[in-house]
């Protein structure tokens, strides 16, 4: 009964983790989150960070002796546990879960998706049901407890508020430049040189200006 109750707690924490990571995915899909610096900040503050560290600890405790510092390292670990001569399912699940978690910590990885999140949660649930991955279980419990105590969405909401404020300033500046008769096609490049751009490139700024209605959307081909 004690183990069953512990498993229920683990799965409740895992569901909370999934919901929080879905919110992180929404942040990553916003127009303002297409530059590497912003994506890095979002992912660093997500719940995937402590899970990644814990999975590394569990895989090393399981006996893996290779490097686990990159996505390529994780793929090598998966291959090693797939065999031959035989498939080690626990090692394979640990290594694959680490690959998924590390992908959610890498701002340059192009495929942070719901499918990848589902795969991570599936691997973790299987490990929990088998009574494995002790470091991950502890890290997940601690991370979700802290997130709940902070209201869950506070850090994400703060980042969204900061982004909205920055985007508003960029749009205001764009309107000023339009009023000064600067060509619409040159506005984004001009703002990218100013401090209020916050390191964004002209492409990201152009997207913000279009979303704010400052400049027109691009014409469709053939129109």
Together in a domain, 88 and 12 = yes
Report the predicted TM-score, pTM, of the whole model to 2 decimal places.
0.63
pLDDT in tens, 12-28: 888 888 888 888 888 88
Please tell me the total count of domains within the chain: 2
Shared-domain flag, residues 100 and 140? yes
What confidence tens digit (pLDDT) does each residue in 33-68 have? 777 888 888 888 888 889 999 999 999 999 999 999
Question: What was the pLDDT predicted at 64?
Answer: 93
Q: Are residues 88 and 193 in the same domain?
A: no
Same domain, 64 and 142: yes
* 181-to-100, 175, 177, 186 alpha-carbon distances in Å: 49, 10, 7, 11
Indicate whether 218 belongs to any domain. Answer: no
133 in a structural domain: yes
């Amino acid at each position: 009964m004690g183990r069953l109750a512990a498993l229920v707690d683990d799965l409740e924490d895992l569901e909370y983790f999934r919901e929080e990571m879905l919110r992180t995915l929404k942040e990553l899909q916003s127009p303002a989150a297409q530059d590497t610096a912003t994506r890095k900040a979002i992912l660093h503050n997500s719940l995937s960070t402590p899970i990644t560290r814990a999975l590394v600890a569990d895989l090393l405790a399981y006996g893996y002796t290779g490097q686990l510092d990159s996505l390529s390292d994780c793929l090598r670990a998966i291959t090693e546990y797939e065999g031959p001569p035989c498939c080690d399912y626990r090692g394979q699940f640990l290594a694959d879960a680490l690959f998924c978690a590390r992908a959610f910590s890498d701002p340059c990885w192009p495929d942070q998706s719901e499918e990848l999140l589902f795969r991570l949660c599936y691997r973790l649930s299987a490990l929990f049901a088998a009574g494995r991955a002790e470091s991950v279980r502890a890290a997940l419990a601690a991370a979700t407890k802290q997130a709940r105590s902070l209201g869950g969405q506070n850090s994400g909401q703060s980042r969204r508020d900061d982004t909205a404020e920055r985007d508003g300033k960029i749009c205001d500046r764009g309107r000023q430049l339009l009023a000064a008769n600067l060509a619409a096609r040159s506005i984004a490049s001009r703002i990218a040189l100013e401090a209020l751009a916050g390191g964004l490139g002209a492409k990201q700024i152009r997207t913000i200006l279009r979303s704010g209605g400052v400049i027109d959307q691009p014409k469709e081909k053939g129109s």
